[in-house]
Amino acid sequence: MLTIDTAPGAGIGLTVISAGAGRMRLRINGFRFDTVRAVAIEDAVGKVAGVQAVQAYPRTASVVIRYSPGVLDLDEILPAICDAERIPAASVPARAPHSVDNSKPGVVQKIFDWAERTRSGQGGNDSGAGRAVTAQAAGAFSDGCCDHDDDDVPERLWQVVKLRRAALSGVLLTASAVTAWLTPFGPVALGLKVLALAVGASTFAPSSLMRLARGRIGVGTLMTIAAAGAVALGQVGEAAMLGFLFSISEGLEEYAVARTRRGLRALLSLVPDEATVLRDGAEIVVAAADLRVGDQMIVKPGERLATDGVVRSGRSALDISAITGESVPVEAGPGDEVFAGSINGSGVLQVQVTATAEDNSLARIVHIVEAEQARKGASQRLADRIARPMVPGIMIAGVLIAGIGSVVGSPAVWVQRALVVLVAASPCALAIAVPVSVVAAIGAASRLGVLIKGGAALEALGTIGGLALDKTGTLTANRPVVIDIATTNGATREEVLAVAVALEARSEHPLAAAILAAAEQPIAAADDVQAVPGAGLTGYLDGHALRLGRPGWLDPGDLTDQVARMQHAGATAVLVERDELLLGAIAVRDELRPEAAEVITRLRADGYEVAVLTGDNHATAAALAAQAGIAQVYAELRPEDKARLVGQLRAQRPTAMVGDGVNDAPALAAADLGIAMGAMGTDVAIETADIALMGQDLRHLTQALEHARRSRQIMLQNVGLSLGIITVLMPLALFGTLGLAAVVFVHELTEIIVIVNGVRAGRIKSLTGPAHDI
């Protein structure tokens, strides 16, 4: 992230969260604006030269700008926002921000509304103010398809209003058929058909007419026209069958979408409504929304953490599986970071709050999802490009078929065929083909600690052929350990380690932590410890002069061969002296993650080309890569070198860069896809990467790759089936081979198959057991 400017005296600043390919996301520091101010900002920034489109997100205080590279001057953005803040509310146009739609709130918006109600103590009451749908939540499903009521997300099939009406319509249709067959009461049978039509059509006709009044047409419009035309031709039964079958497919679609979106809703539900804090020496229970940075939060066994913090006292094991997808509890003690939603084990923890409920790690994830949801993949863009113009095109084709056919043949026959063509060519299955798969796949991944930013990232992940892995923090855990101790001149391993620990006791060097961790007993710190830059440490203990440092500064003597062996194995060797007598050498190395070899073997078996990119020396990189089973090793690289190499790898095959999201930012940006490892609690990693693996288990990488490949296959299956059915049904409808009822049945059956197939993308297996070596 980069803070680019601050307005003097206004207290307003801009931070560039992400930028590239004519798209930029900025966070506005200094105030959180409402929807009125969002409109003002969109209008003001939209007038800046080079800006093509602006979307302001009030709840995240962020702005997404699409611009012309080389034309936009960033320095003009901040003054425009400052001007927008000063515009009187009465002068701001009465419209919703471009980031929202005026239709009913989608589930992502409901997450934020729920969070706001929880923070304000409003319980379950839904406020009409501010109920806006993010562009993707409302527009994830193309206008080519139909409306869905999202006010009450159904938990069970029978709770879907459209399905209940469809069932009633089916009962009435059945009753009309029985009446016509068993009795002479024709008018009664006709009346039952009319009722069946009215009940079935009530699920789509009213909303279609309202959309039509606003100048928007969709598949519901086609179905409404077809039903009305069938009634005009005296085919009330055919029209009723259309209403019955279409209402079933609509109800199933609504249920499937609601079900697949529950994964994102579940994130915020992990946070408890209340927390126990220490204030004025007493434990009191407060609302999670009232937690302040610096509060001392008491977390008892079995409780969830209400927000992020740092452990000040106590030890326990935390279950973070709902956040990171890792099944093994994580030990937490004084100084360790802990995150909202974690479940405390058997110990009592005192945690110092580091983030409010509004800004904790889970809230930030949902904020990012809100801003990034509009990124559609190639399959969805293709489906949208086909579906959107199809509806008006089909209507025009229907008019031409009816008009020309009436001139050359029977008007009644060709009007009927035109109505059948309207149904046969309607693209609802095509419009739903990709979005239902994307929503299902992303929701399922989020439950297992894999954050995928939109359909574009999901599809890109499914096409990856090569992986560039950073060494430190990705292949390794970035926690060096002592792997060997060599001794000489009669010293024991314990003596060598004791001298090293005495000198490193107060050091902040990464190797010091490894040496201190290797000591089994507490050891007194040396006196007068001094660091020799680039060499080592000196000090005194019990009257003895101590030294610790690299070979070259200290003479390895008869340990020369053993030191060389340590270095060849990829370890850092340090020598230890007491009173100028060499005692031994200690080898410290950042070891591979226990699951690394297993993951690399799996990746290679799946056909991925794997390379290691690191700033470490060649010997260390080669040794660890050999352990992991990786042949391509690029070492001693600076960040810009990594970015250049990733560009070269991209030229050979689609390549993803896997790193920590901080030091590897240039390489992540240069790759076809950036994947951040261990991103939980790391703002930069979550902001910059396309995919964020929230946990530390490298097996999530193979899990995410397999999930994306399978999801992409499902998307392509759905698109192919949808286009294939339209291609087959249209000529059959045009030449009268199939009637209205048959076409409606095949069309709606196809949509149901597409929905069910898309929901399959939400199936993903959790990792079981701890990571292990193979």
> What torsion do the CA atoms of 614, 620, 626, 632 make, to the nearest 10 degrees?
30
Give the pLDDT score at 430.
77
- Cα angle 726, 727, 728 (rounded to 5 degrees) comes to 90
Instruction: State how far the Cα of 667 lies from the Cα of 658, in Å rounded to an integer.
Output: 9
Query: What pLDDT score was predicted for residue 1?
Result: 44
Q: What is the reported pLDDT for 707?
A: 92
- One DSSP character per residue, 629-687 reads T--EEE-S--HHHHHHHHHHHHHHS-EEEEE-SSTTHHHHHHSSEEEEES-TT-HHHHH
Q: CA separation (Å) from 169 to 148, 228, 442?
A: 19, 17, 35
DSSP β-bridge partners for residue 656 = 467, 673
554 falls in which pLDDT band (50, 70, 90)? very high
More confident of the two residues 349 and 111? 349
pLDDT at 682: 57
Give exposure, 591-606, as e/b (b: 16+ Cβ within 10 Å).
bbbebbbbbbebbeee
The percentage of the chain sitting over the pLDDT mark of 70, rounded to a whole number, equals 80
Residue 107 has pLDDT above 60, yes or no: no
Lowest mean pLDDT among 82-86, 139-143, 444-448, 687-691: 139-143
pTM above 0.85, yes or no: no
Q: Which of 78-87, 125-134, 191-200, 708-717 has the lowest mean pLDDT?
A: 125-134
What is the helix (H) or strand (E) element at residue 5, kind and residue range?
strand 2-7
**Residue from 41, 71, 73 nearest 57 by CA:** 41
Residues whose CB is less than 8 angstroms from the CB of residue 8 and which lie 6 or more positions away in sequence, other chains included: none
What's the CA gap between 621 and 635, in Å, rounded?
6
Q: What is the pLDDT of residue 769?
A: 58
End-to-end CA distance of the chain: 39
747 close to 423: Cβ distance less than 8 angstroms:
yes
Strand pairing report for 691-693 and 673-677: parallel
Question: Is residue 583 helix, strand or coil?
Answer: strand
Average pLDDT over residues 174-192: 87
Each residue of 402-444: pLDDT tens digit?
Answer: 899 889 888 888 988 888 888 888 777 777 777 778 878 887 8
Beta strands 466-470 and 609-613 are parallel
Distance CA 545, CA 366 (A): 57
Q: Which of 95-99, 197-201, 708-712 has the lowest mean pLDDT?
A: 95-99
Out of 150, 470, 616, 697, which one is annotated catalytic?
470
Query: Rounded to 5 degrees, what are φ and ψ at 377?
Result: -80, 175
Q: Which residues share a beta bridge with 51?
A: 67
Q: What pLDDT, on a 0 to 100 scale, did the predictor assign at position 132?
A: 30
Phi-psi region of 388 (alpha: psi -120 to 50; beta: other; left: phi over 0): alpha
| Alpha-carbon gap, residue 243 to 234, rounded angstroms | 15
Phi, psi dihedral angles at 544 (to 5 degrees): -100, 140
pLDDT in tens, 632-653: 999 888 878 888 899 899 999 9
Q: Which two tokens stand for residue 307?
A: 């927000």
Local structure of residue 476 (DSSP, 8 states)? B
Name 451's bridge partners.
Answer: 692
* Long-range Cβ contacts of 277-284 (<8 Å, 24+ apart): 277/353, 278/350
Q: What is the mean pLDDT of the chain?
A: 79
* Cα–Cα distance, 118 to 136 (Å, whole number): 24
Kind of pairing between the strands at 316-319 and 450-452? unpaired
Strands (E) across 339-465 are located at 343-344, 349-353, 450-452
Q: What is the DSSP string of 410-432?
A: -HHHHHHHHHHHHHHH--HHHHH
Q: Rounded to whole angstroms, how far apart are CA atoms 677 and 658? A: 7
Q: What is the reported pLDDT for 371? A: 53
Q: H or E element: which one contains 588?
A: strand 581-589
Tally the residues of the chain: 774
User: Checking DSSP bridges between strand 296-299 and strand 274-279, what pairing results, if any?
Assistant: antiparallel
Query: CA 714, 719, 725 angle in degrees (round to 5)?
Result: 120
User: Among the listed ranges 128-142, 577-591, 620-634, which one has the minimum average pLDDT value?
Assistant: 128-142
What is the mean pLDDT of the segment spanning 580-599?
Answer: 90
DSSP state of 601: H
**What is the DSSP secondary structure assignment for residue 744, as one 8-state letter?**
H
Closest CA to 461 of 694, 656, 607: 656
470 in active site:
yes
Asked if 450 and 700 touch (Cβ cutoff 8 Å), the reply is yes
- 322, two tokens: 């709902």
Model confidence at 142, in pLDDT bands (50, 70, 90)?
very low
The H helix count followed by the E strand count for the chain is 26, 29
Sheet harboring 655-659: ordered strands across?
450-452, 691-693, 673-677, 655-659, 466-470, 609-613, 632-634
Q: What is the pLDDT of residue 706?
A: 93
**CA-to-CA separations, 402 to 234, 412, 592, in angstroms, rounded:** 17, 9, 71
In the sheet that holds 274-279, the strands lie side by side as 282-287, 274-279, 296-299, 349-353, 309-313, 337-338
What DSSP assignment string belongs to 132-153?
Answer: -EEHHHHHSS-TTS-----SS-
Query: Which residue did the predictor score with more confidence, 126 or 420?
Result: 420
pLDDT for 193-212, tens place per residue? 999 999 988 988 888 888 78
Q: How far is CA 725 from CA 144, 252, 424, 460, in A?
A: 16, 19, 8, 27
CA-wise closest residue to 30 among 52, 9, 1: 9
Share of the chain above pLDDT 90, in %: 21
Q: What is the C-alpha separation between 659 and 739, in angstroms, rounded? A: 58
Q: Report how far residue 290's alpha carbon sits from residue 297's, in angstroms, rounded to the nearest whole number.
A: 12
Can you tell me the distance from the alpha carbon of 588 to that of 570, in angstroms, rounded to the nearest whole number?
Answer: 9
For residue 450, list its beta bridge partners: 693
Q: How far is CA 93 from CA 31, 88, 90, in A?
A: 21, 11, 8
Matching residue, tokens 């900025």: 26
Q: For residues 192 and 172, is the Cβ–Cβ distance under 8 A? A: yes
Region label for 644, one of left (φ > 0), alpha (ψ between -120 and 50) or beta (otherwise): alpha
Mean pLDDT of 606-622: 88
Q: What integer is the mean pLDDT of 388-408?
A: 85
Which of 276, 316, 320, 331 has the alpha carbon at shortest distance from 298? 276
691-693 vs 450-452, strand pairing mode: antiparallel
For residue range 290-322, list pLDDT tens digits in order: 888 999 999 998 888 999 999 999 999 888 766
Q: Identify the CA nearest to 439 among candidates 300, 275, 254.
A: 254
Distance between CA 150 and CA 103 in Å, rounded? 10
281: tokens are 């020496």
